[in-house]
Amino acid sequence: MKHLKHPLKTGFSFGLTSGIITTLGLIVGLHSGTQSKSIILGGILTIAIADAFSDALGIHISEESEIKHSPAEIWTATISTFIFKFVFSASFLIPVIFLSLDLAVAASIAWGTALILLFSYLLARQQKEKPLKVIAEHLLIVLAVIAATHYTGEWIAGRF
């Protein structure tokens, strides 16, 4: 069973980061562009399903192309990527369903950022790196996605 540790880590780390970054970008961008709870909910569900399948296939093909993993390892990485991407993306449905839209967006940013910060800290400790450096690097990417999608959403709303 030790040989399945790497594929599970691959699925978890990819599913978590992709699920959070993609879904946060979508929420922030659609909020800026539409101010519509139903559109944001539809977008989150679309990412949780279609993008989870897409990322799982991407991991599947990537693992196959390395020509060093067994079929069991490849399928474990594929399925775990789908599950983790789906779960982390779908977790953003909760604030959007139960909170006012502006509060849901703020809560989603806080939730996604907290998960990335925690994962970054644990990853840095595992790799024996300085946590602050790893956290800052990953936080910078999160903030860039939030800013870029916010201003893109505003730009689209003002043009179309």
- Reported as a single tens digit per residue, the pLDDT across 72-116 is 999 999 999 999 999 999 999 999 999 999 999 999 999 999 999
Question: What's the mean pLDDT in 152-160?
Answer: 95
* Whether the Cβ atoms of residue 81 and residue 59 lie closer than 8 Å to each other: yes
3 pLDDT more than 90: no
Query: Does pLDDT of 135 surpass 90?
Result: yes
pLDDT category, 8, cuts 50, 70, 90? very high
If pLDDT is split at 50, 70 and 90, which confidence band does 2 have? low
Averaged pLDDT, 39-50: 98
Instruction: Please count the other Cβ atoms lying within 10 Å of the Cβ belonging to residue 88.
Output: 25
CB 80 within 8 A of CB 60: no
CA–CA separation, 78 vs 11, rounded Å? 7
The confidence score (pLDDT) of residue 1 equals 53
Give the pTM.
0.94
Residue that the structure tokens 């916010």 belong to: 150
What is the reported pLDDT for 4? 67
Cβ pair 116, 138 in contact under 8 A: yes
